[in-house]
Amino acid sequence: MTKQKVTVVTGSGQGIGRAIAFRLASDGFTVVINDLNKELAESTAQELRDQGKESFAVQGNVSNRDDQFSLVKQTVEKYGRVDVFVNNAGIAQVAPLLEVREEDLEAIFKINVFGVIYGIQAVAEQMKKQDGRGKIINACSIAGHKGYSLLGTYSATKFAVRGVTQTAAQELAQYNINVNSYCPGIVGTKMWDLVDAKMAEYMGLEIGEAFKKFSEGITLGRPSDPEDVAKFVSYLASSDSDYMTGQSVLIDGGVDFS
Ligand code: NAD
Among residues 53, 135, 158, 182, which one is catalytic? Answer: 158
Q: What pLDDT does residue 217 have?
A: 86
Binding site membership of 90 for ligand 1 (Cβ less than 6 Å): yes
Give mean pLDDT, residues 3-31: 97
Report how far residue 112's alpha carbon sits from residue 110's, in angstroms, rounded to the nearest whole number: 6
Structure confidence at residue 135 (pLDDT): 98
Amino acid present at 202: Y
* Residue 256 pLDDT: 75
What is the reported pLDDT for 181?
98
> pLDDT digits over 166-191, tens only?
999 999 999 999 999 999 999 999 99
* Residue 162 to residues 166, 187, 202, 248, Cα–Cα distance (Å): 6, 19, 28, 6
Which residue's CA is the closest to the ligand 1 atom numbered 4?
15
Q: What's the rounded mean pLDDT across residues 147-169?
A: 98
Helix (H) or strand (E) holding 78: helix 65-79
Catalytic residue among 154, 190, 213, 243: 154
Concerning whether 154 is annotated as a catalytic residue, the answer is: yes
Per-residue pLDDT, 71: 98
Choose among 228, 239, 243: nearest CA to 27: 239
The sheet with strand 134-139 has its strands ordered as: 55-59, 30-35, 6-9, 84-87, 134-139, 177-184, 248-251
- In DSSP terms, 40 is beta-bridged to none
- pLDDT value of residue 257: 62
Give residue 9's Cα distance to chain centre: 8
What's residue 2's pLDDT? 67
Per-residue model confidence as pLDDT tens digits over 50-69: 999 999 999 999 999 999 99
Across residues 14-27, what is the average pLDDT?
Answer: 98
Question: Which atom of ligand 1 is closest in space to residue 40's alpha carbon?
Answer: 9
Q: Is 141 in the pocket of ligand 1 (CB under 6 A)?
A: yes
pLDDT for 254 beyond 80: yes
- Average pLDDT of every residue of the chain: 97
Distance CA 251, CA 123 (A): 25
Cβ 36 under 6 angstroms from ligand 1: yes
202 is catalytic: no
Q: Which of 8, 189, 251, 257 to mutate to test the pocket of ligand 1 (most atoms within 8 A of CB)?
A: 189
pLDDT at residue 3 greater than cutoff 80: no
- Identify the pLDDT of residue 237: 98
% of the chain residues with pLDDT over 90: 97
Assess whether the C-beta atom of 223 lies below 6 angstroms from ligand 1: no
What pLDDT, on a 0 to 100 scale, did the predictor assign at position 258? Answer: 63
Q: Which atom of ligand 1 is nearest to the CA of 37?
A: 11
Residue 48 pLDDT: 98
Please state which of the ranges 36-45, 75-84, 149-158, 210-219 shows the lowest mean pLDDT: 210-219
Ligand 1 atom nearest to 35, measured from its CA? 21
Minimum CA distance residue for ligand 1 atom 32: 90
Assess whether the C-beta atom of 10 lies below 6 angstroms from ligand 1.
Answer: yes
Mean pLDDT of 141-162: 98
35: left (phi over 0), alpha (psi -120 to 50) or beta: beta
pTM of the model: 0.98
Count of CB atoms situated within 10 Å of the CB of 46? 14
Using pLDDT thresholds of 50, 70 and 90, give the confidence band for residue 21: very high
Do residues 40 and 92 lie in contact, with contact meaning Cβ atoms separated by under 8 Å?
no
The pLDDT tens digits for 82-125 are: 999 999 999 999 999 999 999 999 999 999 999 999 999 999 99
- Residue from 58, 63, 91 whose mutation best tests the ligand 1 pocket (most atoms within 8 A of CB): 91
